[in-house]
Amino acid sequence: MLPQKQAEEAIVSNFNETENEATTKEEEKDADSSMFSVKSLLWHGGSAWDAWFSCASNQVAQVLLTLPYSFSQLGMLSGILFQVFYGLVGSWTAYLISVLYIEYRSRKEKENVSFKNHVIQWFEVLDGLLGPYWKAAGLAFNCTFLLFGSVIQLIACASNIYYINDRLDKRTWTYIFGACCATTVFIPSFHNYRIWSFLGLGMTTYTAWYLTIAALIHGQVEGVSHSAPAKLVLYFTGATNILYTFGGHAVTVEIMHAMWKPQKFKYIYLLATLYVFTLTIPSAAAVYWAFGDQLLNHSNAFSLLPKTGFRDAAVILMLIHQFITFGFACTPLYFVWEKVIGLHDTRSICLRALARLPVVIPIWFLAIIFPFFGPINSAVGALLVSFTVYIIPAMAHMLTYRKASARQNAAEKPPSFLPSWTAMYVFNSFIVIWVLVVGFGFGGWASMSNFVKQVDTFGLFAKCYQCKSPSPSSAQHH
């Protein structure tokens, strides 16, 4: 412990490159030597596998339960095509984020800056490469997206537990889960999510295959109809929910920074997305095939499946996974808050946990005000994810490498399957225009129309949203 402490103190006092390299080597050595210890096995992860589990686990949580609802708005063919399209485009923009992170880090390390006790975040990458206006935009979109992402997890927890125990209303469950999720303040960083990511992915895998098999065994309901796509508003609301599904990038930089070798991240997000396809496409297609238009009034797929031990198990696993995803979404917010109040490099876990509590309270409050997560997914997708995940990374990449000198000295050259800078520019421009028009434009209009209707129908602070079977009056808003 003593030599390590001396090394750390030396780095804090003197930012020179030799010590910076020594620190990295020391970290890797520590990682190798403690590879077989229990703490390392469960707690201290930084490998490419850890990053893969984090990305895959973070991509699908409660969205699994709303995708059949999206299919009932889009229809089967559009539902599958949008998933594949946004999954691949999302993987591309995650790749761009990783390239920009490596560019930023290599430039800073040439200036002898050490990141020993500092987690690099996306807004800092934008600031370092493009200046303060980009930093402000990145910070605003990312933080708002993560805030509402955390809110959605809390609402979904209350919505899911209600299917097992309806003696308490959903609002009371939200109070209870808010208190449980507040314990994530004790998890220091993404290094420490190894066991959680692994468990989280196992849980969503079980839930996805439970939904698929249960829907197929149940068979089609009597007089099932598949009328989608029927209305433009519903079509674009569903499309935007899928855009949201593959938008887990708000934590990409933090996951990369937790790796021993961030350069290996490049294709990890794509590999995670391909695995996620095996969960989202079969489950959404099977549930939509079985229940058809009934899903238009049931944004949570659990509400239509019969109560069995398997369903209860899926609900409980989903709840635990939502707790994990809440931690994923909140951790970058904790980092930002720590940097604002000057406690980011503090070693004391208890002090940091205490400082993080003010982040959890507004999330808790918002979950009680807006208790409907299906429409919120679409609104967040259109207004926040479209910029955070697709538009800002594509534009930032184009602007960072707009000069010939920047392209010549780039830390990462264009990938082998798209070897020219021109081709990258064309593809990035297409992403910006498509997402601006279809995601933000049409999607924003549709999801906000739907969202306002939900508020009008059920009111804010609803005690128990969509608890009874839908009456004719509550079905009219679709």
Q: What is the pLDDT of residue 477?
A: 39
Using CA of residue 84, residue 317, residue 253, residue 195, what is the dihedral sign? negative
| DSSP sequence for 403-432 | SHHHHHT-SSPPPTTS--HHHHHHHHHHHH
Q: What is the pLDDT of residue 212?
A: 93
Mean pLDDT in consecutive groups of 10 residues from the start of the chain, 478 residues: 45 39 42 46 64 82 83 90 91 90 87 77 86 89 83 78 72 77 71 74 90 90 78 84 75 79 83 91 92 82 85 86 80 83 73 80 80 66 83 92 86 81 91 90 83 66 55 37
**Looking at 278-417, which runs of residues are DSSP E strands?**
none
Q: What is the pLDDT of residue 282?
A: 94
| DSSP sequence for 453-477 | HHHHHH-TT-SSTT-SPPPHHHHTT
Q: What is the pLDDT of residue 459?
A: 58
End-to-end alpha carbon distance in the chain: 63
pTM of the predicted model as reported, rounded to 2 decimal places: 0.80
- Token output for 362: 């507004």
Amino acid identity of residue 103, one-letter, is E
427 to each of 87, 160, 188, 250, how far by Cα in Å? 15, 40, 37, 21
Instruction: Give Cβ neighbours of residue 410 (< 8 Å, ≥ 6 apart).
Output: 103, 401
Q: What is the pLDDT of residue 85?
A: 92
